Chain A
Amino acid sequence: MTALVAMLRKDLLLQWRGRAQIVAIFAFGAATLLLFSFAIGPDSVALRQHAAGFLWLGLLLASTLSLADSFEGEMEEQALEGLLLLPASARAIYYGKAIANCAQLTLMGAALVSLIVVLYDAGTLRLLSLLGVIVLGATGLSAPGTLYAAMTAQSRARQTLLPLLLFPLVVPVLLAAVKATSLLILGDPMGQLGSWASLLGVFAVVHWALGGMFFERVVED
């Protein structure tokens, strides 16, 4: 447990030190949101209807950058190997990093929400539920994302590989998170929010378990 806490502190500290990069990644996400509106056209009704989709697409695209960045620091001077040799539990390393990545994605998601409120007039009064959906979605993205970022950080063409591997895998997260966010923005007459949230939860549980199981094999020689 202390190992996990130590890893989490380390990863959060690394993120804090690299906050300039995180701001740049957020700017990238924001830029994509802008581009989506240009792609659709100045039709406020259509934009509001698809706002949830834009939000999560923007976050997904930004996540490939932030997930990859989370392993830059580990590979520069082989710090990850250094930890494993202490010895440190690979599982603690994985969960610490995944939690930190989840926190970062949640923050970015929440920041992007403010943008969709402005650009697409897509706000909601159910802010806590919205935050809950963002947390669940970020949790779903960060588990497989951390696992694959660890892989691709050690290989060539990492910028192409990470999205290529991650995107098909997180289709359920995209579908469920978009649907849930949409219900919050546009109204949920039939009370379906719960089922979409459950799907996100199941996805998260499955992939956090798988990630913890396989991380060691992926980073050890």
Chain B
Amino acid sequence: MAVSAAGLGRRHGRRWVLAEVGFELPEGALAMLSGRNGSGKSTLLRVLATAIRADVGTAHVLGYDLRLDREEVRRNTALLGHRAHLYERLTALENLALAARLLDGDGRRAALLDRLEEVGLVDRADDAVQTFSTGMRQRLALARVLQQEARVVFLDEPYGHLDPQGFLLVDAVLRRLRARRCTVLMATHLLERARMLCDRGLILDEGRLVFAGATAEMPEGAVTGGAWFAEGA
């Protein structure tokens, strides 16, 4: 199993943002994570990526415990979060170069320009991130995620802020990740699009997991955004 969680819970003040979340994802799965705003999707991804800790419960990524083997989990995962994880005063190239240096990856200018080419930012390579729009920052963040060549990738609303070309970019990235047998868990509101690409689905409602299974079996309401939670979940 690439990802397995049991009883995960996380508090924020007096609220349980995640409660008793347990599921498994096999290696190579391309899974979508959906739910209303505030249902805990971002929190779940951040907990699995070890950006924040779970208050209760356990989880393993590629066999590594989130709490005990945090470094190993981080080495094998990548997170595309809501914040871009970028330095505004540095250029796009410099941000990627820093990550490359820390990952012992290919830090040559040509290699980094290739990465920027992949996300359509090559002509802004030497501009400071400060000058980038939100969509451009997201593209750069995506390039940084790809740089990590992780086996498990967590994407938090990758389509958000992007233009139609950006949508195609994300689709292509997902297909490439699948071809490399990476495990992907993607939070998204674009249910129709995701359902076509993904083979598994998870649905969160108020911090609890109300569905986990193949996308083919996802309740219709989940796809159309209707009142599926009235179906006795």
User: Which residue of the partner chain A has the closest CB to B83?
Assistant: A78
Is B102 in contact with A88, judged by CB distance below 8 angstroms? Answer: yes
Chain B residues within 8 Å of A13, by CB: 89-90, 94
Contact with A along B110-140 (1 / 0, CB 8 A): 0000000000000000001100000001000
Number of B residues with CB within 8 Å of any CB on chain A: 32
The reply to whether the CB of A82 lies closer than 8 angstroms to some CB of chain B is yes
Is B74 in contact with A86, judged by CB distance below 8 angstroms? Answer: yes
A86-B102 contact, Cβ under 8 Å, with A81-B83, A221-B52: yes
Is B51 in contact with A14, judged by CB distance below 8 angstroms? Answer: no
The reply to whether the CB of A6 lies closer than 8 angstroms to some CB of chain B is yes
Is B103 in contact with A86, judged by CB distance below 8 angstroms? Answer: yes
Chain A residues within 8 Å of B103, by CB: 86
Is B89 in contact with A18, judged by CB distance below 8 angstroms? Answer: yes
The reply to whether the CB of B207 lies closer than 8 angstroms to some CB of chain A is no
Question: What is the distance, in angstroms, from A87's C-beta to the closest C-beta of chain B?
Answer: 4
Contact with B along A1-29 (1 / 0, CB 8 A): 01100100010011001100000000000
The reply to whether the CB of A125 lies closer than 8 angstroms to some CB of chain B is no
Is A77 in contact with B86, judged by CB distance below 8 angstroms? Answer: yes
Distance A217 CA – B103 CA, assembled complex (angstroms)? 23
Is B85 in contact with A82, judged by CB distance below 8 angstroms? Answer: yes
Chain B residues within 8 Å of A46, by CB: none
The reply to whether the CB of B222 lies closer than 8 angstroms to some CB of chain A is no
Is B74 in contact with A79, judged by CB distance below 8 angstroms? Answer: no
- Considering only residues 52-86 of chain A, those with a C-beta below 8 Å from chain B are 73-74, 76-79, 81-86
Is A10 in contact with B87, judged by CB distance below 8 angstroms? Answer: yes
Give the one of A18, A76, A86, A88 with max B CB within 10 A: A86
Is A87 in contact with B87, judged by CB distance below 8 angstroms? Answer: no
Give the one of B74, B77, B84, B88 with max A CB within 10 A: B88
Distance A17 CA – B70 CA, assembled complex (angstroms)? 33
- Considering only residues 127-166 of chain B, those with a C-beta below 8 Å from chain A are 128-129, 137, 144, 148
Question: What is the distance, in angstroms, from B13's C-beta to the closest C-beta of chain A?
Answer: 15
Distance A86 CA – B51 CA, assembled complex (angstroms)? 11
A87-B71 contact, Cβ under 8 Å, with A2-B101, A77-B86, A82-B86: yes
Distance A17 CA – B127 CA, assembled complex (angstroms)? 12
Question: What is the distance, in angstroms, from B166's C-beta to the closest C-beta of chain A?
Answer: 18
Question: What is the distance, in angstroms, from B146's C-beta to the closest C-beta of chain A?
Answer: 13
Chain A residues within 8 Å of B79, by CB: 85
Is B88 in contact with A76, judged by CB distance below 8 angstroms? Answer: yes
Chain B residues within 8 Å of A18, by CB: 89
Contact with A along B27-61 (1 / 0, CB 8 A): 00000000000000000000001111100000000
Is B84 in contact with A87, judged by CB distance below 8 angstroms? Answer: no
Is A221 in contact with B102, judged by CB distance below 8 angstroms? Answer: no
Question: What is the distance, in angstroms, from A171's C-beta to the closest C-beta of chain B?
Answer: 34
Distance A78 CA – B86 CA, assembled complex (angstroms)? 7
Question: What is the distance, in angstroms, from A93's C-beta to the closest C-beta of chain B?
Answer: 10
Is A81 in contact with B51, judged by CB distance below 8 angstroms? Answer: yes
Distance A85 CA – B86 CA, assembled complex (angstroms)? 13
The reply to whether the CB of B98 lies closer than 8 angstroms to some CB of chain A is yes
Question: What is the distance, in angstroms, from A154's C-beta to the closest C-beta of chain B?
Answer: 13
Task: Known pairs A77-B85, A82-B85, A83-B102; list 7 more (Cβ under 8 Å).
Answer: A10-B90, A18-B89, A77-B129, A81-B51, A85-B85, A87-B71, A221-B51
5 smallest beta-carbon distances between A and B, as pairs: A82-B85, A87-B74, A78-B83, A17-B89, A221-B52
26 contacting pairs across A/B (C-beta < 8 A): A2-B101, A3-B102, A6-B102, A10-B87, A13-B94, A14-B87, A14-B89, A17-B89, A17-B90, A17-B128, A73-B88, A76-B88, A77-B84, A77-B86, A78-B83, A79-B86, A81-B51, A82-B86, A83-B102, A84-B74, A85-B49, A86-B103, A86-B148, A87-B71, A88-B102, A221-B52
